[in-house]
Chain A
Amino acid sequence: MTGISRSQLVPRAAADDLNLRWRLARDRWLLRLPALATATVLVPLFSVLYYVVIKGFSALDWNLVTRLPGAITQPGGGMANGIVGSLIVTGLAVAAAVPVGVIAGVYLAEYGRGSLGDAIRFAAEVLAGVPSIAIGLFVYNLVVVKMGRFSALAGATALAIIMLPVVARTTEEMLRMVPASVREAGLALGIPPWKVTMRIVLPAARTGILTGAMLGVARIAGETAPLLFTALNNNFWSVALDQPIATLPVQIFTFALTPYRHAQMKAWAGAAILISLILVLNILARLVLGRERGTPQ
C-alpha cells in the first residue's frame, strides 16, 4: 500500500498526469528565484560593510578623532571638528524636531480622526519623501540668506525638517498602540481627558517614542545634501551656532573626492564611525520595538 507512485494516484488521462509532473518540476526551479533575489540584494550590503570595516577601521586612530583636518594635501590630521559638529547640529535638530513632532503625533493620535487629521497625516508622509536637497534649498532661502551667512543653525533647521515627519508618525503609531484599557482606567477615575493623554497615555508610550527618535537620529546623522549649503563646512574648530560648521558626512564627501589617498582613507574612517553609530541606533531601536510589539508574526 505504501510507496505508490504519483501516477497511480491519478488514474486519469496520462496527459493530465504529465502536466502535473511538469508543473511541479517547474515549480522547483521557480521557487529558487526569490531566495536568489534576496541573496543578490544582500551582497551590496555586506560589501559596503566589509569595505567600511576593513578600510575604515584600519585608518581609524586616536589622531582621527582628536585632530583637525589641517591642509588637505598633507597627511595626518583628523575629523575631530566634524564629529563634534555633527553632534551639535544633530543635537539641535533633535531638540527642535522631537517636541514639535511628538506634539503633532499627539494631535494625530488623539484628535486626528477627521479630515484635518487626514490632511496633516498625508502631508507628513509626503514631507518624509521630499528630496533632502530640496529641503536644503528651502532652508538656504529661509535662513542662510536672511542671516547673511552659512551656519550651524541653518544646518540644524534643515535636519529638523527631515526628522519632523518621522517623529510625528512614530509618535502617533506608538500612542495608538497603548491599550484602550489604560485610557479608560484614567477616565474612570475622573481625570479629565487631556490630562489622561498627557500624563498617562503619553508616558506609557515613551519607550516607543524614544526609539522613534533614535531612528530619526539615525536617519539625519548621515544626511549630507542639505548641509552642503546650509552648514557648509569648516576646516577649523568652531562650535558657534551662527558660523559654518564641519560635519562628519560633509567631511566624508569632501575627502572622498580628493585625489589624495590619505584623505580618502580618512573618508573611509569617517564612514566607519558614521555607520557604526547608525547600526547601533537601528539595532537598539529594533530590539526595543520588538519587545514593545511583542513577537511579530
Chain B
Amino acid sequence: MSTGLVLDAESRNLRPVGRSPDVASAAEQDTREATPVGPGHLETRDLHAWYGTNEVVRGVTLTIRPRQVTAIIGPSGCGKSTFIRCLNRMHELVPGARVRGTVLLDGQDIYAPGVEPVYVRRRVGMVFQRPNPFPTMSIYANVAAGLQLAGRVSRRELDERVEKSLRMAALWDEVKDRLHEPGTRLSGGQQQRLCIARALAVEPTVLLMDEPCSALDPASTARIEDLITELRERYTIVIVTHNMQQAARVSDYTAFLLNGELVEYGPTHQLFTNPTDPRTEAYITGRFG
C-alpha cells in the first residue's frame, strides 16, 4: 500500500516517497524487539470507558512495551485522552465516569477490587496538556510536592532528588540559581518541563503525556521531544498527540484510535509507511481529522 509518505529512518520524519527509504533495516529493527515483560509493562484488555451514557473508549486491547515510547494518535474526540486517563485511574474522578475492562501494570490489574488509586498514580505519572505548576509554590517546592507527601524525606535527600529530577527534565541549568522563585514565573516551555520534573520526582515506572506540547511554541516543543527520547531509556512513555509528525519523530510504537476503537497498532515506521487498515491510511494522509 503506497501512501505517498514514508518514514525516513534517519531523521525519523515523514517525507514524501521518492527519497531513499530503507525498509529493510526498519523491518530488522522490528524483529529485534521481542516483547520484554519488565517493569513498566502496561497492557489493556477490552477496555471500555464512559462519560455518563456516552461510550468514549470501546473495547481497546493494547500492549504498551516497557521502556519504549508509544504514541496514541487519532482525530479529536476519538477517545485518546480518555484512554490514557484510564491508565492512571484519573478518568474515574469525573462525576458520572465509568470504566470496564482490565488494565495490567506489570501483570497486575489496577482496576481489581481493593486496589487503591493512590498507589497506581505513584507508579503511573502524568503530564498534562497545559502546564499546571502550583502557583503558591516555588520551583523547588513544585518538584518536591510529590515527594513531600510521603513526609519523612530528609532535607538532603529532597535536595538530591529535586536536582536529579530537574536534570532529567533538562531544566536544572536554567533554574538552579532560582529554585525558590514561584513556579509560575517560568516560560510556558519551562513550566512544562517543570511539570515533567515534578512527575519524575516520585520515580514512576510509566509516564503518561497528554498532548504535552500542544500549548507550547515550536522551540519548546522540540526541546521536550528531545527530552522524551532521552527519558525513554528509563521510563515507559505513552504520549497522546494530534501531531502525526511528532508521533513519527518521537515514538517507537503508534496506536491509531478512531471513535474509541483501536484501529491499528504497530511499530511507528510500519504504521506510517505501510499501514494495514485503510482508515489508518486515510487519517495519516490527511483525508480527515
Which A residues form the contact surface with B (CB < 8 A)?
1-6, 8-10, 16, 19-20, 23-24
Complex Cα spacing A20 to B107, Å: 21
A2 / chain B contacts, CB cutoff of 8 Å:
109, 112-113
B104 / chain A contacts, CB cutoff of 8 Å:
1
Which B residues form the contact surface with A (CB < 8 A)?
102, 104-105, 107-110, 112-116, 118-120, 122-123, 149-152
With A3-B114, A8-B108 known as contacts, the answer to whether A19 contacts B123 (CB < 8 A) is: no
Specify which of A4, A16, A19 is in contact with B108 (CB 8 Å cutoff). A4
The answer to whether B109 and A19 have CB atoms under 8 Å apart is no
With A9-B120, A10-B122, A20-B122 known as contacts, the answer to whether A1 contacts B114 (CB < 8 A) is: no
A5 closest partner in B (C-beta):
B114
A-B pairs under 8 A by CB, number: 47
The answer to whether B150 and A9 have CB atoms under 8 Å apart is no
The answer to whether A10 and B109 have CB atoms under 8 Å apart is no
B149 / chain A contacts, CB cutoff of 8 Å:
23
The answer to whether A20 and B119 have CB atoms under 8 Å apart is yes
A7 closest partner in B (C-beta):
B119
The answer to whether A10 and B114 have CB atoms under 8 Å apart is no
Give the dominant DSSP class at A's interface: helix
Specify which of B109, B118, B122 is in contact with A1 (CB 8 Å cutoff). B109
Complex Cα spacing A24 to B107, Å: 24
Specify which of B102, B105, B115 is in contact with A6 (CB 8 Å cutoff). B115
The answer to whether A10 and B151 have CB atoms under 8 Å apart is no
Specify which of B102, B105, B113, B150 is in contact with A19 (CB 8 Å cutoff). B150
B107, B108, B120, most chain A CB atoms within 10 A: B108
B111 closest partner in A (C-beta):
A2
Q: A1-B107, A2-B109 are in contact. List 10 more A-B contacts (CB 8 A).
A: A3-B112, A4-B109, A6-B116, A8-B108, A9-B105, A9-B108, A9-B119, A10-B119, A19-B150, A20-B122
Complex Cα spacing A286 to B276, Å: 60
B113 / chain A contacts, CB cutoff of 8 Å:
2-3
B123 / chain A contacts, CB cutoff of 8 Å:
9-10
Specify which of B102, B105, B150 is in contact with A16 (CB 8 Å cutoff). B150
Complex Cα spacing A23 to B150, Å: 8
A11 closest partner in B (C-beta):
B106
The answer to whether B119 and A6 have CB atoms under 8 Å apart is yes
A12 closest partner in B (C-beta):
B203
Specify which of B108, B116, B151 is in contact with A24 (CB 8 Å cutoff). B116
Complex Cα spacing A5 to B115, Å: 7
Q: Would you give the shortest CB distance from B255 to chain A, in whole angstroms?
A: 23
Q: Would you give the shortest CB distance from B157 to chain A, in whole angstroms?
A: 13
Complex Cα spacing A20 to B146, Å: 12
29 A-B residue pairs with CB within 8 Å:
A1-B102, A1-B108, A1-B112, A2-B109, A2-B112, A2-B113, A4-B108, A4-B112, A5-B114, A6-B114, A9-B105, A9-B108, A9-B110, A9-B119, A9-B120, A9-B123, A10-B119, A10-B122, A10-B123, A19-B150, A19-B151, A19-B152, A20-B119, A20-B122, A20-B150, A23-B118, A23-B151, A24-B116, A24-B118
A23 closest partner in B (C-beta):
B149
Q: Would you give the shortest CB distance from B102 to chain A, in whole angstroms?
A: 8
A4 / chain B contacts, CB cutoff of 8 Å:
108-109, 112, 114-115
